[in-house]
Structure 1
Amino acid sequence: MSQVAEIAVDVQNAVKRYGDFTALKSISLGVYHNEFFTLLGPSGCGKTTLLRMIAGFEDVTEGAIFLFGTEIDALPPNKRPVNTVFQNYALFPHMTVLENASFGLEMLGKSRAEAKARAGEMLELVQLSQFASRKPAQLSGGQQQRVALARALAPSPKVLLLDEPLSALDLKLRKAMQIELKHIQRETGITFIFVTHDQEEALTMSDRIAVMSAGELQQLGAPREIYEHPQNRFVADFIGETNLIEVTISEVADGRAKCRIGGGHVIECDAPGQASGSACLSVRPERMVLSAGNASGIAVPARVVENIFVGTDIATWLKVDGGPEISVRISNSARSTIFEPGANVFVNFEAGAARLLMD
């Protein structure tokens, strides 16, 4: 994606109210052309409401939404060059796969021959050409999802909106479809705006992620940026696994803070300008290393409480001396040293692992 990429969808100070309830609180964000953009957050955070406002199924109470520079607030859904793939797929059970895929084109006035030719191309894109004559009930959940995707892509919308389309699939199929969706987005060059509550799904598929909570935008950025540099406690806790450790800031100098944990153990980390008093450290479990000795002189002593086998990793739970319980992820390989419960160890933080959060 170019550094000067065109803005496909521009949401400016969008507010949505239902009576006295404010579902969206002045959301502003831009989605680039040919971007896989994800709205991520827990149930009830406003992400689907925002998607429906872009689609035209919900009115904007305040603010405005632009599509490639043109304000679309007054346009009805059928006049907007966007299509939506819903969670339940909304396929017509009495129609064949090909008829479902061509239905939208026929409604737009295309001839039946032209509509079916284009639908056939989309079925080939989603690898369902051999099922064109089947009815939806004869397909698996993943195949039905692909039919809905083909139908939405057939009119060549400028933007495709996807409202948790993978949530009904089993884990293995959902992971396969994540890769497939990303491939299709790149193949077509259409801007995708994807709604999910699944953090791993968002990290896997997205060019950028907007993390939302209680109707507010918490952070917007690339997956790695959000994972490695959360801006607040909500984002740190919601995205992946993390240890949130209460600390007291004892000293700040040259952009670095010394933070005391529990019984007085000191951890150094980068400090935002307003750092002082009590705060919270966010440390990812995989960014810590356990050792039997304190060779660095700055490791934190702890005792192993429990080891939990999670497949590729071992999750080791520790009780810091005079402090909290924390979790460390250790690779499940022959090269890894696994300490048994009750063992006294030292916890070493990788450089840049500790993220200081002031809220």
Structure 2
Amino acid sequence: MTDTIAIDVRKAVKRYGDFTALQPISLSIHDNEFFTLLGPSGCGKTTLLRMIAGFEDVTEGEIFLFGDEIKTLPPHKRPVNTVFQNYALFPHLTILQNVMFGVEMQGKPKSEAKARAGEMLELVQLSQFAHRKPSQLSGGQQQRVALARALAPQPKVLLLDEPLSALDLKLRQAMRFELKEIQRETGITFIFVTHDQEEALTMSDRIAVMSAGRLQQLGNAQDIYERPHNMFVADFIGETNLLEVSVDAIQDKRAICHLGGGHELTCDAVDNIGIGSKVHMSLRPERLFLSDDPTESESLAGTIRENIFVGTDIQTLVTLENGPQMTIRTSNSDRGNKRIFEPGTPVYVNMEMGAGRLLVD
């Protein structure tokens, strides 16, 4: 990632008649950045990607590519390529011919197109399949061919519209690391669209979380996960406990909060949340632990409801006294050091220092 701005979106809006699919959005994407647009179906992420590609008109606002305004530029004149969810390979052409296609469309000699296609197939480790047809390859191999074909014309920006969603889980996980490595090797700006938060967290330099046509938060994976701005981001990214609290006092930049049932919690104060505010606090399950006795840190009394084995973790559900239910996760590697309490056992839910995060609802 460099300081050069590859894509600059300035108050871009997209309307379809009376429906506003994308509210005014502004963001800058750096050259050589792996940037992800993350959100549920219908949030506007693919609409924004298609506006950058030129497949959708910009209703209001502007989009700049390396300083040049491209809103009125047709798709074929933009130095941008797209990898689609369904790969869109030509079934009658060989793998080599598929990858050569974009270079030949630029008017380059066949020999140059063939050499470039060979380089890209080597990059995605498919040189040995150059003379096969797409139908003779697996889904993961077809995905890599589509990537090679999009990279061959040397675009300044590569757009990826949920390219891994059709793959099975293990292949999808493997392809995440391959995509990130290819992005590093080529130095091309990748803009990746997904609804899968794990994909976004593991691959991205920065993430733009979107919902209902609006940008909810922009930051790196740790910022988004550890310091969510609002309830949507906290709940959408990973798993969390959302507790309704009222802010009773603020001392030394710490907020003292009241939870139903007489429980008191403290956490870092947040701008725009003052004394008397009724808001939500986010507590990640892995930042909590159980004990027989209250600790010197935050402790909430409750009763074990259920233990659920989920492979890497034990997920424990606890019902607080006169309060809500909470989820606590204990790593299987900690089972020898941490007691697993049986259902019905009175316990205390303890918080790690800094675990609580107040949310601007």
TM range (shorter): over 0.9
Correspondence list, 1:141-290, <5 A: 141-273=139-271, 274-275=273-274, 276-290=276-290
Q: Does 1:318 align with 2:307?
A: no
Shift of 1:248: 1.8
Residues 47-104 of structure 1, C-alpha deviations (whole Å, 9 max, x = no match): 0000000000011000000001110111100100000000000000001000001111
* Aligned amino acid, residue 305 of structure 1: R
Shift of 1:192: 0.1
Residue aligning to 1:296: 296
Correspondence list, 1:46-65, <5 A: 46-65=44-63
Residues 296-346 of structure 1, C-alpha deviations (whole Å, 9 max, x = no match): 164111111001111110110000111100100001133332111111111
Residues 142-190 of structure 1, C-alpha deviations (whole Å, 9 max, x = no match): 0000000000000110000000000000000000000000000000000
Write out the 4+ residue segments of structure 1 that deviate beyond 4 Å after TM superposition: none
Residues 187-237 of structure 1, C-alpha deviations (whole Å, 9 max, x = no match): 000000000000000001000000000100000000000000000010000
1:306 counterpart SS class: strand
Number of paired residues?
357
Residue aligning to 1:10: 8
Structure 1 range deviating more: 84-93 or 245-254: 245-254
Residues 97-122 of structure 1, C-alpha deviations (whole Å, 9 max, x = no match): 00001111111111111101100100
1:358, 1:94 → 2: CA distance?
Answer: 54
TM-score by length of 1: 0.98
Residue aligning to 2:137: 139
Q: Does 1:355 align with 2:353?
A: no
Q: Does 1:116 align with 2:118?
A: no
2:198, 2:221 → 1: CA distance?
Answer: 10
Q: 1:336 to 1:63 in 2, by over 3 A?
A: same
Q: Does 1:130 align with 2:128?
A: yes
Residue identity (%): 70
Shift of 1:249: 1.7
1:204, 1:143 → 2: CA distance?
Answer: 21
1:54 counterpart SS class: helix
TM-score by length of 2: 0.97
Shift of 1:266: 0.5
- 8 Å contact from structure 2 (residues 297, 352) kept in 1: no
2:318 counterpart SS class: strand
Shift of 1:258: 1.2
1:336, 1:86 → 2: CA distance?
Answer: 46
Q: Does 1:345 align with 2:341?
A: no
- 8 Å contact from structure 2 (residues 295, 350) kept in 1: no
* Aligned amino acid, residue 25 of structure 1: Q
Segments of 5+ residues of structure 2 without an aligned counterpart are none
* Aligned amino acid, residue 347 of structure 1: V
